[in-house]
Structure 1
């Protein structure tokens, strides 16, 4: 089974989970980690707790910023946890795709790679798209 962890600075992870639940409902295998939301927050302890909590599940951890403290803390543990897969740059289309397709793949690495490829074009400058549409309409 796959366990998804969304770990971000601030309450971004919580916002992603709220949006996911609004779109597709409650996801049992999704956990979030809001980082640095209290002064007593200890990233190292929180990451260690999560990693030990899921020793047999395939973990897909989605972080917000590659090279950021949250991402780096999980990366420091990658050699000790063979079930740990880390993806940075989490966004709603990516996590929705991963969740929707998780049962279609036996290998989490394939799921991740295919989902990233599929969602790679989800960033669109809408002004340019609108201009293209106007130009196309004017040609007819």
Structure 2
């Protein structure tokens, strides 16, 4: 029984995040993804997710959207003291989380802060060039 990281989302976003992380860092046996497909109910996924919760000493659930149906449904799992839920997952947050060794404590406040800092507008700077600088 160790740490499990569960990503939940609308449609295939969670699976896409999982695949992206594993493309960058390799396979993670403790990383799971569940997506709510059109026409389905979030409550239908909870029993499968709860199986993962019951076989871990620590569970961190990352939801795509605070207040979204998947995040709201997952709040039922917070009755387990070893479960933490974060809404608003991004690739930066998930990457940093999966790279934390299982024997090291997870500081979610710091991870969320790092994930926020990773969101930036990318701007190309125009440099003034005169003939002397060009050559």
Alignment TM-score, normalising by the size of structure 2: 0.82
Q: Distance in 2 between matches of 1:63 and 1:77?
A: 13
Where 1:126 maps in the other structure, the secondary structure is coil
| Residue 90 in structure 1 maps to residue 92 in structure 2 | no
Deviations 1:92-125 (A, max 9, x none): 111000111244623x4x2x22211222211111
Do the aligned partners of 2:3 and 2:58 also contact (CA within 8 Å) in 1?
yes
Do the aligned partners of 1:2 and 1:102 also contact (CA within 8 Å) in 2?
no
Unaligned ranges ≥5, structure 1: none
Unaligned ranges ≥5, structure 2: 129-135
Q: Give every structure 1 segment of 4 or more consecutive aligned residues whose post-TM-superposition deviation is greater than 4 Å.
A: none
Alignment TM-score, normalising by the size of structure 1: 0.80
1:119 equivalent in structure 2: 115
Q: Higher Cα Rg: structure 1 or 2?
A: 2
Deviations 1:68-115 (A, max 9, x none): 10010111331x211110111111111000111244623x4x2x2221
Per the TM alignment, residue 5 of structure 1 is displaced from its structure 2 partner at its CA by 0.4
Determine which structure has the larger helix proportion and give its number.
1
RMSD (CA atoms): 2.0
- How many residues were matched structurally? 127
